[in-house]
A and B are shown apart, each in its own frame.
Chain A
Amino acid sequence: MSAAAPVVELKQITKRFPGIVANDAISLTLEKGEIHALLGENGAGKSTLMNIVFGLYQPDEGSIEIDGKPVIIDNPNKAIELGIGMVHQHFKLVEPFTVTENIVLGMEPKKGLKIDYKSAAEQVRKLSEQYGLQVNPNAKIHDISVGMQQRVEIMKTLYRGADILIFDEPTAVLTPQEITELMAIMKRLVAEGKSIILITHKLKEIMQISDRVTIIRRGKVIDTVKTSGTNPNELAEKMVGRGVTFKVDKQPAHIGEGILKLSDVRSKSKDGVPVLNGLSFEVKAGEILGIAGVDGNGQSELIQAITGLRKIDSGSITVSGKEIANLSPRKVSEMNVSHIPEDRHKHGLVLDFTVSENMVLETYYKSPYNQNGFLNKDVINQHAEDLVKQFDVRTPSIENKARSLSGGNQQKAIIAREIDKNPTLLIAAQPTRGLDVGAIEFVQKQLIAQRDQGKAVLLISFELDEIMNVSDRIAVIYEGQIVGEVFPQDTNDQELGLMMAGSLKRGGHADV
């Protein structure tokens, strides 16, 4: 192995963005037939590095060699020519197109002027068989599962003859079973002579599948080690730069009376497809109920139903015994319900408002902010100053636009606003997505602090680790139903995974 040149060699790659060095003299080699993990926190520079390899960005300094030959990769076409393929974290699939159309886009087989869909589908079917992917060439993207969509992404690279595959956080949206299947696919790819770079921040996967690991932190390579010679604790420490505890500190819960109660909630999408399918559960004061599930099984709709953003067809939703189903979002908010939304840019903040203005987004109409129809700017600013201080929101001033804050600080601002409302029920949807370890710890601590103050907390997350660590009780959602309720100490990833995939039901209100 050492005799042949590495398939990819990155030499001293440096990439600067205004105000930040995203990659600082990064060097890395990928050997043929190897699975090389690239480990780092959100924002450590992994994605920037891979976008450079894939030709989406140009490095400011440094060089790239493929099979020992120096190359310049100035656009994705060049990368494709060199046999590099990328499986993006956020799938880049055209929804209304078929699997085949997505795969051949840009390299369509032709018959006369027309696209030769017949031979295209045939090629797709062959590739699918060769790597055991089981993809239906004629299915439309919006009709297939997330796991299948990822396989389409993989096939897009294979169709272009890629030998070097980059997987960017590939397991983020998969169930544990789908992750196992993906690992098998990756092994098979390597066995067929491909080489893989796996970008991830999940240590478990690295230990399971990779041959070597390169750890980067704040744009710099910290170390490259053989997987067989390391352990998760050592990797974590290198990634974060200090000792990390995997378990979140928390005292036993003091559970009080029921606060949020849903029974047999049903709702349909615009097209008449049921999205909430007789959903029932309860959250009590002083507990965190975690909703586990694969993206798209009704989580968003569930939150919308509780917060008044979606009408339900039947069933009941009560907060502290009062019916809130089909009330307006404002009315629900006034029932002491706080909501940390899933998409902070789209739903949580008005990015072009100042931090100060964002802090009163839900309370601007109340005294003392509103006086006879006019806003009292002094009071609003003072309130913002207080929250910024109390929750350590890093901003040059409260007059800065929310857009200029980092993701972690934006999330802190939202959490400050929502917790400041002193809610009886706090709904947190994906509250740590895209944050670095420090911010994640902060957010999780805040959730636990709320629970310790006797608030009911509903946590929705796709990250199983988070659900397992933070929740006092776990409810699993599948196709708009709660298919199981378990305690974190009585279950494991495998069992949760089976429930999330709909093949196991356990306990709770679900009619089994």
Chain B
Amino acid sequence: MEVLGQLLNTTLVFSTALIFAALGGIFSERSGVVNIGLEGLMMFGAFAAAVGGYYAQEAGMGEWAPWVGVLSAMAVGVIGSLIHAVASITFKADQTISGTVINFLAAGSTLYMVKLIFDGSGETPLIDGFSKVSIPGLSKIPVIGEGIFNSYPTTYLAIILVVVIYFVLFKTPFGLRLRAVGEHPSAADTLGVNVNKMRYIGVMLSGLLAGIGGATITLTTTGTFAHNTISGQGFIAIAAMIFGKWNPLGAFGAAVFFGLSQAIRNYVQLFEWSKSIPQEFIFMIPYVLTIIVLVSAVGRSSAPKALGEPYDPGKR
């Protein structure tokens, strides 16, 4: 029972970053812009959180320091996403290529800046990051208490955001317009909805959320930023978004699933029988599972219809 609670808890630690990034992906893709740059945006976020968090900690901000990290990550994530937005929306560049550019620039510029700021070191100084917070009362519930209600603040934030973003997307005028722009931009345009503006907002929100996602990793898992802090999480977040059918609730479920497969990888090594399995095969689990999941899930049928198409009002 105790193991189960711990497993759930670790699952959520791994899932949190994926949830943020997948939610970001939803905003971008629901508005019609493919965002393969989530990986790079998470990198920007992780980097900014490490640097912002470090200086805040140095400045003696104590337990508030990680929040400064989160805010820095949001800001840098948005700035990074603007590159994607300008290229793919304003200049109608191929969205996949422009997303790839983000990944390139993020990999280069974050390390460049780390070396610049920390005198040639390839890694940021270790910081404390977030501590787990127990919710009084709820954390006493067996399994779930240990598993859910004794988590990092970012995990709570992620879960709250899932609900909030679901509401925003499906109940508010903003959400209706965003989805309309991703489905049928010229319909939205003729009703006076500014397509490019909505898409800019969608992409910038994806930068903001993927930035928080990256920050989560530095502030709850690694404590520093280096070249391998973000290694594929952004792409798994994309898979989670697709598997979750571009719906916040679905993406949440998928992210937890991927988090679980990663957590299992750690837990399975506690058991004697797992020693006979080469570690590489255990490492492979999340990636193999992703492919299996995609094979069994429905393809792109539920993707926004105008996904990937630059909007050109002259064309009908």
Contacts and interface: CB of A to CB of B under 8 A. Distances in A.
A191 interface: no
A56 interface: yes
B137 interface: no
A404 to B, nearest CB: 16
Interface size class of B (residues with CB under 8 A): 20 to 34
B173 to A, nearest CB: 4
Given A101-B176, A115-B171, A106 B184 contact: no
A106 B193 contact: yes
Contacts of A93: 184, 187
A149 B177 CA distance: 20
A107 B192 CA distance: 9
A88 B184 contact: no
A111 to B, nearest CB: 10
B176 A115 contact: yes
Interface stretch (A72-80, A200-208, A245-253, A277-285): A72-80
A97 B305 contact: no
B109 interface: no
Interface in A96-126: 96-97, 101-102, 105-108, 110, 113-115
Chain B, interface SS category: helix
B94 to A, nearest CB: 14
A21 interface: no
Interface string A331-361: 0000000000000000000000000000000
Contact of B190 (A54, A110, A115): A54
B219 to A, nearest CB: 30
A97 B316 CA distance: 20
Contacts of A77: 192
Contact of B172 (A54, A80, A94, A115): A115
B313 A105 contact: no
Contacts of A76: 189-192
B128 interface: no
B201 interface: no
A106 B171 contact: no
Contacts of A156: 191
B186 interface: yes
Contact of A108 (B176, B305, B316): B176
B143 interface: no
A105 B305 contact: no
A106 B177 contact: yes
A107 B190 CA distance: 12
B172 A113 contact: yes
A95 B183 contact: yes
Contact of B173 (A56, A92, A110): A110
A106 B191 CA distance: 6
B180 interface: yes
A94 B172 CA distance: 17
A94 B180 contact: yes
Q: Which 10 A-B pairs have the closest CB atoms?
A: A92-B187, A77-B192, A106-B191, A108-B173, A94-B184, A94-B183, A106-B193, A114-B171, A106-B192, A94-B180
Given A80-B192, A110-B173, 5 more contacts: A54-B190, A76-B191, A80-B191, A97-B176, A106-B191
14 contacts: A56-B190, A86-B190, A92-B186, A94-B183, A97-B183, A101-B176, A105-B187, A105-B188, A108-B173, A108-B176, A113-B172, A114-B172, A115-B176, A156-B191
